Amino acid sequence: MTIASLQTPTLGGEHDFINWIKSRSSPSKRMLLGPGDDAAIVEWGIHQADCVITTDMLLEGSCFRLAEAGPIRVGRKSMAVNLSDIAAMAAKPIAAVVSIGLPRQGGRHLAERLFRGMEEVASLFGVPIVGGDTNSWKGPLVISVTILGEVTERGPVRRDGARPGDWLLTTGALGGSILGKHLDFLPRIPEALEIHRLAPIHAMMDISDGLARDLHQICRASRCGAVLHGPSVPLTFEAQKLALETGKSALDHALSDGEDFELLIAMPEKSAQTLMAIQPLEGVLLHKIGHIIEEGVWLDPGNGEDFEPLGPLGFDHTLE
């Protein structure tokens, strides 16, 4: 592992950049050894918790447009998407490492702004960037972030525990994230931990590929089905705005756009009723959007007409 950047062919430049990163990093007593050695060391032994690990790669032109978004927002997103995966496991984020491939021209300046964005989001959740690997190459910008989390005393939450009768909840409005939210969202870390503390969560995901597709993931993993209640799906202003342009409905956007990074939660009806009544999250409203059934994934149009089959609409990671 090297966080390496030489502006001159001396060791000074590289050392300067590591120092720059160190100076930007939040201090953390879990970081026993930070950037600058072959690897970083994170305090774990005395905490006796299992380790949750997630990684996401962001690719220029595919996951963001650098010229439109700017490097600080891209840096924020690269950290936030990974934190969102840690939230989806109901785990606490502990440390991050970052590897970057930078275009040859202007790489140092770009790297600094990316790190600033990453650090902004990481420090909001007390997560130190403990190490990384910085390279320049002929290709477009690519960023890979890996985050370690630890499970709480209540254990992790997987996506395979949903059961018929569970209610489906979400933490916020969906759709139209391409208009900005996909860059500027806050991962639902405190919300996931608070819900996990208060209630038995059977299954949870963050909505990244689209509500319909991610619901299919929960159903397949849990070997069950689901009914989404169309009129109950909370819609963003952006979904409604996009709908005017695309001719699709705002609900279609909410079902298929993806990158909402809200939580999709299945939990027993009784617990869900209690949570809906007390609304325990600060500034975040829980919405009931459907329930788990034995099989099939359906959309209830809510007007008394028949349920419609709901396909796995959403982002499709096609490899050819």
Site for a copy of itself in 111-140 (CB under 8 A): 111, 130-140
User: Could you tell me which of 119, 82, 126, 78 has the C-alpha nearest to residue 100?
Assistant: 78
Q: Tell whether the torsion through CA atoms of 275, 278, 280 and 286 is positive or negative.
A: positive
Q: How many CA atoms lie within 13 A of 11 on its CB side?
A: 2
Q: Which two tokens stand for residue 293?
A: 């059934």
Among 119, 166, 191, 206, binds a copy of itself (CB under 8 A): 206
Q: Which is nearer to a copy of itself, 207 or 235 (CB)?
A: 207
The only residue of 1, 179, 198, 276 in contact with a copy of itself, by rule CB under 8 A: 1
Site for a copy of itself in 168-187 (CB under 8 A): none
Closer to a copy of itself by Cβ: residue 159 or 181: 159
Yes or no: say if 94 and 128 are a contact pair by the CB < 8 Å rule. no
CA 43, chain centre distance (Å): 24
Residue 267 in 3-state DSSP? Answer: strand
Q: Which is nearer to a copy of itself, 91 or 199 (CB)?
A: 91
DSSP track, 143-190? EEEEEEEEE-TT----SS---TTPEEEESS-BS-GGGTHHHH----HH
Nearer to a copy of itself, 101 or 117 (CB): 101
Stretch that binds a copy of itself, among 70-78, 154-162, 245-253, 287-295 (CB under 8 A): 154-162
3-state DSSP assignment of residue 129:
strand
Tell which one of 23, 27, 67, 104 touches a copy of itself (CB under 8 A): 104
**In this complex, which beta carbon is closest to a copy of itself, that of residue 177 or of residue 235?**
177
Q: How far is the CB of 8 from a copy of itself (least distance, A)?
A: 8
Report 7-66 residues binding a copy of itself (CB under 8 A). 7, 9-11, 13-15, 17, 32-33, 36-57, 59-63
User: Is 53 or 278 the residue whose CB approaches a copy of itself more closely?
Assistant: 53
Number of chain positions touching a copy of itself (CB under 8 A) = 98
Q: Which listed residue (28, 144, 170, 256) binds a copy of itself by CB under 8 A?
A: 144
Judged by beta carbon, residue 78 or residue 271, the one nearer a copy of itself is 78
φ/ψ bin of 233: left (φ > 0), alpha (ψ from -120 to 50), beta (otherwise): beta
Q: How far apart are CA 268 and CA 291, in angstroms?
A: 10
How far apart CA 231 and CA 196 sit, in angstroms, is: 27
Rule CB under 8 A: which of 63-92 touch a copy of itself? 63, 82, 85-86, 88-89, 91
Q: Is 303 in the site for a copy of itself (CB under 8 A)?
A: no
Q: Largest alpha-carbon pair distance within the chain?
A: 73
